[in-house]
Amino acid sequence: MTNYFYVLPVRNEFFKSLLTLLMGLMLVSHLSLVLAGNWNNPYTEEQVASSTLFSSFSQSPKHLDPVVSYSSNEWAILSQVYEPPLQYHYLKRPYTLEPLTLQKMPNIRYLDKNHTPVSSDSPDLVFTEYLFTLKQGIQFHLHPAFVKDSSGAFLYHQLNAQDVDDIKSVMDFEQQATRELLAADYVYALKRMALRQNHSPVLDAMKQYIVGLDEFSKQVSEQYQTELNAQNKRTQTHFFDLNSFDIKGVQVVDKYRYKVLIKGTYPQFLYWLTMNFFAPIPWEAVAFYKQSILVEKNITLDTSPVGTGPYQLVENNPNKRMRLLANEHYRLEQYPSEGLVEGADPKLLLDAGKPLPFVKEVIYSLEKESVPLWNKFLQGYYDASGVSSDSFDQAVSVSSTGNMSLTPEMQEKGIQFLNIVQPTIMYFGFNMADPVIGGYSEKQQKLRQALSIAINFEEYISIFLNGRGEPAQGPIPPGIFGYTEGESGINRVIFDWKAGRLQRKSIDVAKQLLAEAGYPNGIGKDGKPLTLHYDTAATGPDSQSILNWYRKQFALLGIELVIRATDYNRFQDKVRKAKVQMFSWGWNADYPDPENFLFLLNGANATIHTNGSGINSANYDNPEFNRLFQQMKTMENTPERLEIIQKMLNIAQEDAPWAWGYYPKALSLYHSWQHNVWPNPLANNTIKYRRIDAVERVEKQTLWNPPVMWPFVVVLLLIVASIYPLISAYRQRQTAVISNKQDKV
């Protein structure tokens, strides 16, 4: 009785409170729904509703200084900001160069030793002269470095601590100004490249071609170092005036024209001119950024670029977000009105002739993990996404013939799909300097040919890449001059052409070749199975299945494969010193020329001949191949050149310094509200062509992300409901203790 006496009122109060809470909760949730829109929207509503492109990056950019940066993740941002003289046409294939800041393609003259013009095939040809003529009226982004006071002196070039108290980025300076792009800015960029202390990765390559660059580099680098030592300063905080030095082969002709003199001929030089190394740099910005007070705040040319491009980097937090804003003063550049390849979506020309850029803001958010990236794409909060192995089955279905298409779930969302073979080769290399696996005798050739057949890359692509790749026939990937499609382009050492399809030779053929190489059934002269060593930096648990697969392929021939896994430093070191037998590596095109792939097999570039700095890691050195390479490398893309390339490929295929590997495919998905998406793996400045339909995006995001309220109510109910039994149990426990004690007493 006593218990009921005090429990009943508690129960009534409890249910009253519960009811009040529930009503309050429903009201709050209803209001929240009405007022707040999508709760899981990581951006502001204004951003989503505007012409903003939402993208992500997984690796923080380390360098945004155009003479230093050489990574694709950095170029993805940098190429929207800086403008080298040339660019790739967005739509045309094969890849075609066109002027970007130039009025027209450079004028090219061939000169003899006295600088007298000669024909391109003249034996007296010693130099090639490129004359660049800039478009007039191009302006740099607004930047404090250009601001001058009434006396004409730079306002922000002598800053003190108080001046930058509230400054976190260059955008925080009260005054901003601009100036016109001049030919001297391009020449200044070349001079910066030559300064050894700037660590430009292409300096040593360019020294071979640009007249006087080597001497200039030595001169200015030594002088700069002398000044640094004398003043006990670091390069970040000491401005070195390069304007007072000249490169012999580089000359400012007038305000809008400059010349570059190249040793001999080097047609690939034009491709280099699409890269950010050759983008203009205003000297005022360099002088401005050398102030130690700014360097302490990480405000440098390496973090805050200043260019002439369609976008300006207004926020750079490499650990969080990069934000580009459309350049309001961008000159009139129009969307292309021609060049669509056969089979491409005609909608790609709907915006022909319209001024660029379309997207007004680009937000790159750091996403280190693939799971949140993928889920946010599905929610509509990223406009595009790649396809990781984890999400492949959800996104893509592969037919029995290997054709890829979107799954019904993706199609229902209106997601679009692009699938292209990249200008990249991932190869399995044999060290030609190794006494067992290397060498040029017929037997050694046959050993490598047998292995090339046994390592079934079609199977590799199917198992480990979800079909995202094509078996390589040689070093040149599709889309590059010299690659031949179909039967005439196959590697006949490894493949046959049957029923209109590529077919790998049987393992019996490989066994036969192995026997002819002196290893019948994989057994050597000593009666023991042949043991080969594969060096790799793949040490993680995910790599074990790939390494086991390699072992299995070698076991098909009776060969024992020993895996020598090590860290990446040691692996690189071993390859450089030719202390490996077999290894895997890859190469991504710098420019769309076969020379950029065939030089990977040129003997002069062998690591053992270059003290480890060469890029021919297989140390392949066939004199005939080398001779043809020299002949081919400076030729125009003519049928004669194609014939030479074919000869080179045949030689390499017979020698088999690589097991050739595969050309990877890039899959990208993008939402229906993003337009003008066209893959161009060699061009990085493509955001200006994209267009966003923000209205459609908002509609779909709202449709896909309504907050689900019932779990919230259930959880709260459970919490509230558990309070009563707890109180009840506590009271019972208290009285139980008392009564027990009373009983005992």
Partner 1 sequence: MFEYIIKRFLFAVPILIGVNLITFALFFMVNTPEDMARAQLGAKQTTPEMIQSWKVENGYDKPLFFNTDATGLDKVQQTLFVQESLKLFAFDFGQSDSGRQISADIQERMGPSLSIALPTFIIGLVTNISLALLIVLFRGSRLDTVTMMVAVAIMSISGLFYIIAGQVLFSKVWHWVPISGYTEGWEGVKFLILPIFIGVFAGIGAGMRWYRSIFLEEMSKDYVRTAKAKGLTDIKVLFGHVLHNGMLPILTGVVVIIPTLFMGSLIMESFFGIPGLGSYTIDAINAQDFGIVKAMVFLGSVLYIIGLILTDISYTFFDPRVKLS
Site of interaction with partner 1 (CB under 8 A): 38-42, 44, 60, 62-63, 70-71, 196-197, 199, 201-205, 221, 225, 234-236, 295-298, 300, 302-303, 317, 319-321, 365-369, 371-372, 375-376, 378-379, 381, 567, 569, 572-573, 590, 611, 613, 615, 705-708, 711-712, 726, 729-730, 733-734
- What are the residues facing 401 on neighbouring strands? none
β-pair type (361-366, 311-317): unpaired
Q: Are 389 and 379 in contact (CB under 8 A)?
A: no
Minimum CB distance to partner 1 smaller for 20 or for 732: 732
Q: How far is the CB of 43 from partner 1 (least distance, A)?
A: 8
β-pair type (321-326, 416-421): unpaired
Minimum CB distance to partner 1 smaller for 13 or for 567: 567
The full length of the chain comes to 745
Name residues whose C-beta falls within 8 Å of residue 435's C-beta, 6 or more positions apart in sequence.
none
**Phi then psi dihedrals of residue 111, to 5 deg:** -125, 150
Q: How far is the CB of 686 from partner 1 (least distance, A)?
A: 22
**Phi then psi dihedrals of residue 41, to 5 deg:** -75, 115
Q: How far is the CB of 741 from partner 1 (least distance, A)?
A: 10
Q: How far is the CB of 46 from partner 1 (least distance, A)?
A: 12
Distances 225 to 222, 239, 242, 247, 289 between C-alpha atoms, Å: 5, 12, 13, 19, 19
Q: How far is the CB of 569 from partner 1 (least distance, A)?
A: 4
Minimum CB distance to partner 1 smaller for 113 or for 577: 577
Which residue bears the tokens 């950029």?
596
Minimum CB distance to partner 1 smaller for 332 or for 745: 745
Q: Are 143 and 306 in contact (CB under 8 A)?
A: yes
The tokens describing 506, both together, are 């049987």
558: left (phi over 0), alpha (psi -120 to 50) or beta: left
Minimum CB distance to partner 1 smaller for 317 or for 650: 317
164-169 contacts at long range (C-beta below 8 A, 24 or more positions apart): 164/293, 164/294, 164/297, 167/294, 167/297, 167/299, 168/297, 169/299, 169/304, 169/314, 169/315, 169/316
Write the secondary structure of 542-601 as one string of H (helix), E (strand) and C (coil): HHHHHHHHHHHHHHCCCCEEEEEECCHHHHHHHHHCCCCCEEEEEEECCCCCCHHHHHHH
- What are the residues facing 129 on neighbouring strands? 109, 261
Minimum CB distance to partner 1 smaller for 44 or for 158: 44
Minimum CB distance to partner 1 smaller for 137 or for 707: 707
Q: How far is the CB of 566 from partner 1 (least distance, A)?
A: 11
Q: Are 475 and 481 in contact (CB under 8 A)?
A: no
Minimum CB distance to partner 1 smaller for 235 or for 419: 235
Minimum CB distance to partner 1 smaller for 203 or for 262: 203
- What are the residues facing 561 on neighbouring strands? 532
CA Rg value for the chain: 32
If you write DSSP's letter for every residue of 91-104 in order, what string do you get? Answer: S-SS--EEESSBSS
Minimum CB distance to partner 1 smaller for 20 or for 375: 375
Minimum CB distance to partner 1 smaller for 185 or for 302: 302
Q: How far is the CB of 319 from partner 1 (least distance, A)?
A: 4
Q: How far is the CB of 297 from partner 1 (least distance, A)?
A: 6
Q: How far is the CB of 690 from partner 1 (least distance, A)?
A: 22
Residue 374, Cα to own-chain centre: how many angstroms? 18
Q: How far is the CB of 734 from partner 1 (least distance, A)?
A: 7
Q: Are 363 and 54 in contact (CB under 8 A)?
A: yes
Minimum CB distance to partner 1 smaller for 63 or for 92: 63
Minimum CB distance to partner 1 smaller for 131 or for 293: 293
**339-341-344 Cα angle (round to 5):** 120
- What are the residues facing 563 on neighbouring strands? 534
Minimum CB distance to partner 1 smaller for 364 or for 670: 364
Q: How far is the CB of 41 from partner 1 (least distance, A)?
A: 7
Minimum CB distance to partner 1 smaller for 66 or for 522: 66
Give the number of other CB atoms < 10 A from CB of residue 549: 16
**Phi then psi dihedrals of residue 249, to 5 deg:** -95, 10
Q: How far is the CB of 687 from partner 1 (least distance, A)?
A: 21
Q: How far is the CB of 501 from partner 1 (least distance, A)?
A: 36
Q: How far is the CB of 562 from partner 1 (least distance, A)?
A: 23
Q: How far is the CB of 242 from partner 1 (least distance, A)?
A: 17
Give exposure, 216-251, as e/b (b: 16+ Cβ within 10 Å): bbeebbeebeeebeeeeeebbbebbebeeeebebbb
CA distance 679 to 319: 28
Cβ-count burial of 519 within 10 angstroms (0-12 exposed, 13-18 middle, 19+ buried)? buried
The tokens describing 342, both together, are 């056969």
- Three-state DSSP at 740 gives helix
Picking from 492, 520, 60, the residue whose alpha carbon sits closest to that of residue 316 is 60
If you write DSSP's letter for every residue of 48-71 in order, what string do you get? Answer: HHSSEEEEEESS------TTT---
Sheet holding 321-326, edge to edge: 52-57, 361-366, 321-326, 311-317
Minimum CB distance to partner 1 smaller for 265 or for 300: 300
Q: How far is the CB of 375 from partner 1 (least distance, A)?
A: 5
